[in-house]
Structure 1
Amino acid sequence: MTSSKDSRYSDDTVLQNVNHFVTVTQKNKQTNSAHLNFLMECILPIMKEEDETFKRLYNSIQYGGSFYKGTKISNAEEYDLDLIIKLQETPLKVEMSKNKPGYVKIKLQDPHVDVWKNYHGQSWLAIPKPLNGDEGNLLWRASFYEQEKELLLSKKHLKNVLRLLKKLRNQENFSNLSSYYIETLFFHEIDSQNPYFWEQNSLTYLFMHMLKKLQRALENCEIKSYWAKNSNLLERLSKEEKQNMASRLKKIVNIIEKTIDSDPLAIARFLLNEKEMKKLSTEYDEL
């Protein structure tokens, strides 16, 4: 693993400039949020008018996804909205799925039996997400969005590094490498490092550190779920696909390490498209 004292990765000038290409501006966030809120204010009354059951059960909306976590790398074209329903009058029993870690089965139960309110000691949401298999349509995915958002807060460079890795993923066309897989790698790293890791080290060092972590995870064919430790998120990808991505990332790391002394833009060349690279080169020459 790269040493945090490695002078090659102490200068953040280039990646700070690259970061402009992967950060949604505050103005864009405010504009998009205003449009979305207006849209939901129009749609929800219609949905309630059309469906009495929905009107009775609707509780609130949880705005989720990378846009609201602050890890979105481009202008938002889609949003994750969870419509939370209220079932206070209906006693429920929650059973963990034995075959699908991280998923649960929800059953109506006798009102005298205690209701499970917590999972791993934390409040959570159950999201209907059909899976293949005999019980696929009966399973709900346990979601810890609020806890995950909290994990990513107040860690200086962390979100920037996460966005940069997602940008690299897009440039390399690793379409099946989910943003959530990359995020989960960061959740584990947060636990394994001291609280000051993300502010004591340079952005460039941290990017290389997490790039190598991702490469090794793909090489080892494993990123464990943060919430269901016996679940391997990468099992959804074929062995060949994981090996190809791991091999490509290893090649990228080697090229960067061999050339960054003579080419300050070495990392940027793997993050930006031709148009973006041209703009960055002009800006860098003017520094």
Structure 2
Amino acid sequence: MNNDDQKKYNILQNIMQKLNQKYIALPENETKRNNKLLVVIDRIVQKIRSKSPLFDNLYQNKYYGGSYYDNLKISQPSEYDLDCVLCLPKIAEPTVEVSDKPGYVHVVLNMQALEKKVDEAPKYIGLEKLLKGNRLCAKKVKSWMEGLMALILPTTLVVKIDDSEYSVKDTFFVVPKSPSDTDTVYWRLSFQEQERELISGYAVMKPTIRLIKKIRDRYQHKIASYFIKTVFLWELENVDKNLWNKTLSYVFMTSLQNRTTDMHLQMLRKYAQYIAHKNIPYYWNKDYNLIGDLSETTTNCIANKLKNIADEVDRNYQNSPYDIVQYFCMDSCLLQKSTLKLSSKKFRWLKDLREELEVKRADEARDRNELMKVISMVNKKVDDLVKKTEPSKDDFLDLLLDSNETLTRTSNFQSQQNL
């Protein structure tokens, strides 16, 4: 691939970097703040251990998973994947059996062997209630965990426990995710730590994933974050790994050469191709199709939209590079006007919102004051921009990204007040 190919989309680099840094990646202060909030998890776990001898004896440690800890989160975290790693007793001879459904396994216990150990058996009273026959039942385990949470937490606190993980062997996890509500003895294999290592160390791998996730959110495509990450796991095998250390615009938009098929596809187009083929194979068992349940109508609609976006960027990026912003932000019309004019009335909602927040209850003061600082900052940018005789498109881009962030944070704040 020659230098001209590598420089083809350089005109988009600054714009895409700003999109990622200011609008998509989590600000450092938000990350630090949310890490502090997670201290409460230790207290919750200790409380559960004090209430349940069975949980206390099974509990091994915590494992934090999901987009937030993979550094792939694209919005202010409102939930976290807390994986409680439970170690099944060796004397119960836990084994993992391959099931008839690709990607899923059975967890089998020998309770008779456990009962013969008179010194150990009392530690695991109640474990037999979590079985269906001799197989660990995912539905019963989740219900058991929900019951323990209900014992110690206020009814108004929303806690996501669906992805809690239970260790069978040190090298991987199995999670209580079943193919359907009736398939209660199926568990899904999970290799979160291995996946985290696989996607680490590549300069623009994670920013590229975040950009695609933002397009997904912008158009409300029903594709899970894990499915998008899986596409990139497969592409790590298909393309030269050095490509992931080039510029963000190059990796996101430039044709990448597949070492196996010698085909050139943009990463955005490659993602669209997986959707169009209605097949994102599970990385650890390619016979399991992660999007197999999606209808052909849905996958065609998503694939066509992605293709149209890539086509439009290719047609317009030389003359109108800022047009790419519309695929990530709702209010991008400011950047698309040929005559750049700014009316402070357009952002009157910021001043109105500030006045509304000023009358909120005192016990909401911390979150309210933090949001008001952001609103004041954007208000000042509006005022400063109005005074400029010839504002640049970069000025508009900064304002657009800040105002979009404010809308998101406002929505989150108001949602919290309605809980």
* TM-score, normalised by the number of residues in structure 2: 0.61
- Quick check: 1:268–1:277 contact (8 Å CA) kept in 2? no
Instruction: Please say if residues 325 and 332 of structure 2, whose CA atoms lie closer than 8 Å, have aligned partners that are also in contact.
Output: no
1:28 aligns with 2:73: no
Distance 1:34 1:133, change over 3 A: closer
Q: Which residue number corresponds to residue 170 of structure 1?
A: 217
Q: How far off is 1:277 after superposition?
A: 6.7
Q: Higher relative contact order by CA 8 Å / sep ≥ 6: 1 or 2?
A: 1
Q: Structure 1 residue 145 and structure 2 residue 192: aligned?
A: yes
Q: Aligned letter for 1:10?
A: N
The answer for the alignment partner of 1:114 in structure 2 is none
Query: How much does 1:7 deviate?
Result: 3.8
Q: Give the letter aligned to residue 272 of structure 2.
A: Q
The correspondence of residues 189-228 of structure 1 with structure 2, limited to 5 A, is: 189-199=235-245, 201-208=246-253, 209-228=266-285
**Alignment partner for residue 128 of structure 1, among 173, 176, 185?**
176
Larger radius of gyration: 2
- State the Cα distance separating 1:246 from its structure 2 match: 0.8
1:243: how far off?
Answer: 0.5
CA gap 1:285/1:266 in 2 versus in 1, 3 angstroms: closer
Partner of 1:283: 395
- Asked if the contact 2:326–2:333 (Cα under 8 Å) also holds between the matched residues in 1, the reply is no
Counterpart CA distance in 2 for 1:220 and 1:79 is 31
Structure 2 residue 303 is matched with structure 1 residue 246? yes
Query: C-alpha displacement at 1:183, in angstroms?
Result: 0.5
Three-state SS of the structure 1 residue aligned to 2:322 is: coil
**CA deviations over 1:89-143 (Å, ceiling 9, x no partner):** 32112111222x11110001486xxxxx76xxx9110111233265x11011111
Deviates more, 1:269-278 or 1:17-26: 269-278
In structure 2, the CA distance between the partners of 1:195 and 1:125, relative to structure 1 (3 Å rule), is: same
Matches within 5 A, 1:1-287: 5=5, 7-11=7-11, 12-19=13-20, 20-37=22-39, 39-89=40-90, 90-99=92-101, 101-109=102-110, 123-132=171-180, 134=182, 136-174=183-221, 176-199=222-245, 201-208=246-253, 209-274=266-331, 281-283=393-395
Report how far residue 284 of structure 1 moved: 6.1
Instruction: For 1:151 and 1:262, locate their aligned partners in 2 and report how far apart those are by CA, in whole Å.
Output: 38
TM-score for the superposition, normalised by structure 1: 0.87
Q: Is the 8 A contact 1:8 1:261 kept in 2?
A: no
| Alpha carbons 1:14, 1:284 under 8 Å: kept | no
How far apart, CA to CA, are the structure 2 residues paired with 1:222 and 1:4? 34
* 2:203 partner SS: coil
CA distance in 1, matches of 2:241, 2:8: 24
List alignment gaps of at least 5 residues for structure 1. Answer: 112-116
Q: Could you report, residue by residue, the CA deviation over 1:20-45 in whole angstroms, capped at 9, with x for unpaired residues? A: 200012222122112112x1122122
How big is the shift at 1:202? 2.2
Classify 1:269/1:6 alpha carbon distance in 2 versus 1 (closer, same or farther; 3 Å): farther
Q: Give 1:6 deviation, angstroms.
A: 5.4
Q: Is the 8 A contact 1:14 1:265 kept in 2?
A: yes
Distance 2:291 2:35 in 1: 33
Residues in 2 aligned to 1:54 and 1:197: alpha-carbon distance in whole angstroms? 46
Identity %: 28
Deviation at residue 151 of structure 1 after TM alignment: 0.8
Shift of 1:145: 0.3
Residue type at the aligned position of 1:124: F
- The residue matched to 1:82 in structure 2 has which SS? strand
Using a 3 Å threshold, how does the CA distance of structure 1 residues 177 and 24 change in structure 2: closer, same or farther?
same
In the aligned structure 2, how far is the partner of 1:4 from the partner of 1:183?
Answer: 29
CA distance in 1 between partners of 2:397 and 2:58 (Å)? 59
Distance 1:52 1:222, change over 3 A: same
Cα distance in 2 for partners of 1:277, 1:231 equals 44
Q: How far has the Cα of 1:49 moved from its partner?
A: 1.8
**For 1:217-276, what per-residue CA distance to the aligned partner results, in whole angstroms no more than 9, with x for missing partners?**
111111111101111112121111000111111111111111111111122221122179
Report how many aligned residue pairs link the two structures: 273
Task: For structure 2, list consecutive stretches of 5 or more residues without a partner in the other structure.
Answer: 114-167, 254-265, 336-380, 382-391, 399-419
Instruction: Provide closer, same or farther for how the CA distance between residues 250 and 127 of structure 1 changes in structure 2, counting only shifts above 3 A.
Output: same
